[in-house]
Structure 1
Amino acid sequence: MRVLVTGGAGFTGSHYVRGLLSGPGAGGGNGRRSGQLPQSVRVTVLDTASSAAGGERVASLMRDPACSFVQGDVRDAALLAEILPGHDQVVDFTAGTSGGRSGDPAPASVDTRLYAARTLLEAAVRARVSRFVRVSGAEVYGDTRTELWPEDGPLLPGTPHAAATAAGDLLALDCHRTHDLPVVIARGPDAYGAGQSPDAYVPRVLSHLLRGSRVPAEEVRGDPREWLHVTDLCAGVRVAADRGRVGEAYHVGGGTVLTDAQLTARLLDACGAGWDMVSHRPAARAGRRRPALDDGRLRALGHSPRVPLDEGLRATARWYADRPPWRQPARAA
């Protein structure tokens, strides 16, 4: 089995590759229930790896002889035509999950993302890959007071970033209907864990706490959203990739829905700190919320998350405490 992982030098993509290289059931998911990939799996990572973090992730992955790395852009049709043939699966992490990043990309970035999705899908059609897995995110559903969002729920993106992600999902499903490309969509919530870029929410808060500075008040004003440990997210994506029904979307859910203030409280506990380490303790408020994901389809396939939130946050805090350079903004991406 040969798998091409685009965006494999990113936070979530690199965790996914490690799970593949470790054999069935790896990645902190559900033991041997999580996957059916053979031990002889070989992985090709395609990524620009333009950041310090991406370069370090690639160097770590390349220690395994079953992994090869191609530095390049998924918008490069000629490169895709060269490397895609012979791969059985494409798992596309270029859409990404937010991880609680602030801000939204510029319109030019939205155009770039759409062109990248189309170019990769067209190349996969020409290469006749056996399965194309697009990893998407809960942001495509927008903000709602709905407690649990169904897997066949409407896409209601509320930002340019989310709209570009939703459009990429629809392009993938269109390729399934029009060109018989075996597409599966896997949508996850915000992820956290070891090796995440320092511009994401959890590392941002941890960087303040671990250097003994107070967390800025603006960091604890976000609305509720679902959080899932990255190894559980990757385990769920593997189940969808291996056993999901083509043409369907699968939610990798089962996480914990928290406001930023609630998550910060858990991070304070993980670091043995109190609210005096936050510039301003926020009052409870009513606002928008990103829906939790109904993950019934994956649960029917035997998948459920295994990393409790507090356990995952403590492990993440220890990882960053041991690696001060990973708390520097220069490593972002």
Structure 2
Amino acid sequence: MYEVVVTGGAGFIGSHFVRRVLRREDVSRVTVLDALTYAGHTENLGEAFLDPRLAFVHGNILDGPLVDELMARHTAVVHFAAESHVDRSLTTADTFLTTNVLGTQTLAASAGRHGIEKFVHVSTDEVYGSLLEGSASEDDLVQPGVPYAASKAASDLVALSHFQTYGLPVCVTRSSNNYGPHQFPEKIIPLFTTRLLRGEKVTLHGQGQHVRNWLHVEDNCAGVELVLCEGEPGEIYNLGGGTDLTGRDLTAKLLALCGKDWDSVTYIPDRQANDLRYSMLWDKIARLGFRPARDLDEGLAETVDWYRRNPDRWAPMTRTPYAAGTQHSACATTPVTSARVEAHVH
């Protein structure tokens, strides 16, 4: 049976994973540890709170005593918690390094002390840097080009060092760009969608020629679940297989779905250190049986429809988009037994 700590489980990808893993009959406990900064919302977990196996802990991955208490009561960790927005990392790199690197160190060290049986560290294709041609394999060197990617590459190495040095059963996943419902409106798809739905203009960097691979969040979570259950300790798994699009091509699809035309788009100078293209090979995870299942056009239509139907969820976020540390209401929780942990349940 799996007893899983999911860090960042109230965020976009983490909450989708929590709902997915709770569908497994061999999961007896899932505890979400989330600091509820601006991109984490208990509302993202929704109906998962109806499951008595779910507990929610409002806390920070840098809180060593709290992390120790949770590790002592679980058998596995899936680590999503991270600062993840490239633009913000250009001005607040220290925050990214603290959370992503030191937070991972805190978790991995505690996991080792408490005999955790599987530690899945969730990362990104951005650690490989910009590739003008070809695709990165898991054996390629990391060459991050921006502070966010550098902090994730460093956290990958920290996690893997705990396998090499202490034998902690660590796996690392690196996924391409995720999209889907519930994403905080700072990344391009929810940002453009919410602006277009409000009748506002959107802005493309340069000429919109930057290439990204788009993978539905449910496909990414299926890959993470597969690595949790079948991944080989010490291995890295690229989670690709989505659809490559330039920024301009993606914008065209969002304009059509929102009923807008190119008059709603303006071009601005390119962002500094804006990687031109990401691309990964994903043969290794395919050998475990991973196959992306979601069609891009259907997934985008579903995503835009979610934002159209749920303005109450995203409209307040657009007023204070970087209110780090803001706590949110709608805090139905399942209590856990430890007195210390109960004090952190929000």
Superposition TM-score tier, normalisation by shorter sequence: 0.7 to 0.9
- C-alpha distance in structure 2 between counterparts of 1:50 and 1:280, whole Å: 31
Structure 1 unaligned residues grouped into runs of 5+: 24-37
SS at match of 2:68: helix
What is the total number of aligned residue pairs between the two structures?
313
Q: Post-superposition shift, 1:259?
A: 1.7
For residue 109 of structure 1, the aligned residue among 86, 95, 103 is 95
The residue type equivalent to 1:109 in the other structure is T
Pair 290,94 (structure 1): closer, same or farther in 2 beyond 3 Å: farther
Pair 22,200 (structure 1): closer, same or farther in 2 beyond 3 Å: same
SS at match of 1:149: coil
Pair 187,97 (structure 1): closer, same or farther in 2 beyond 3 Å: farther
SS at match of 1:206: helix
- C-alpha distance in structure 1 between counterparts of 2:318 and 2:186, whole Å: 7
Q: TM-score, normalised by structure 1?
A: 0.87
Q: Which residue of 1 aligns with 2:183?
A: 196
1:87 aligns with 2:88: no
SS at match of 1:208: helix
Q: Post-superposition shift, 1:227?
A: 1.1
- Identical columns (%): 39
Q: How does 1:67-82 map to 2 (within 5 A)?
A: 67-82=54-69
1:257 aligns with 2:244: yes
- C-alpha distance in structure 1 between counterparts of 2:97 and 2:179, whole Å: 27
- C-alpha distance in structure 1 between counterparts of 2:241 and 2:222, whole Å: 12
- C-alpha distance in structure 2 between counterparts of 1:151 and 1:130, whole Å: 23
Q: Which one is further off, 179-188 or 88-97?
A: 88-97
Pair 305,17 (structure 1): closer, same or farther in 2 beyond 3 Å: same
Q: Which one is further off, 304-313 or 104-113?
A: 104-113
Pair 52,94 (structure 1): closer, same or farther in 2 beyond 3 Å: closer
SS at match of 1:246: coil
Q: Which residue of 2 aligns with 1:131?
A: 118
- C-alpha distance in structure 1 between counterparts of 2:206 and 2:181, whole Å: 20
SS at match of 1:226: strand
Q: Is the 8 A contact 2:8 2:33 kept in 1?
A: yes
Q: Post-superposition shift, 1:58?
A: 4.5
Q: Which residue of 2 aligns with 1:142?
A: 129
RMSD: 2.2
- C-alpha distance in structure 1 between counterparts of 2:141 and 2:153, whole Å: 10
- C-alpha distance in structure 1 between counterparts of 2:277 and 2:88, whole Å: 16
Q: Is the 8 A contact 1:214 1:277 kept in 2?
A: yes
Q: Is the 8 A contact 2:21 2:27 kept in 1?
A: no
- C-alpha distance in structure 2 between counterparts of 1:143 and 1:208, whole Å: 28
Q: Is the 8 A contact 1:224 1:290 kept in 2?
A: yes
The residue type equivalent to 1:164 in the other structure is S
Post-superposition CA distance 1:71-122 (Å, at most 9, x none): 1111111111111113111000023665xx5342523213312211111110
Q: Post-superposition shift, 1:62?
A: 2.0
SS at match of 2:41: helix
- C-alpha distance in structure 2 between counterparts of 1:95 and 1:134, whole Å: 11
Q: Is the 8 A contact 2:117 2:169 kept in 1?
A: yes
SS at match of 2:181: coil
Q: TM-score, normalised by structure 2?
A: 0.84
Q: Post-superposition shift, 1:202?
A: 0.5
- C-alpha distance in structure 1 between counterparts of 2:189 and 2:46, whole Å: 24
Q: Post-superposition shift, 1:56?
A: 1.8
Q: Post-superposition shift, 1:40?
A: 4.0
Structure 2 unaligned residues grouped into runs of 5+: 323-346
- C-alpha distance in structure 1 between counterparts of 2:191 and 2:319, whole Å: 13
- C-alpha distance in structure 2 between counterparts of 1:281 and 1:258, whole Å: 19
Pair 117,53 (structure 1): closer, same or farther in 2 beyond 3 Å: closer
For residue 318 of structure 2, the aligned residue among 319, 325, 329 is 329
The residue type equivalent to 1:102 in the other structure is D
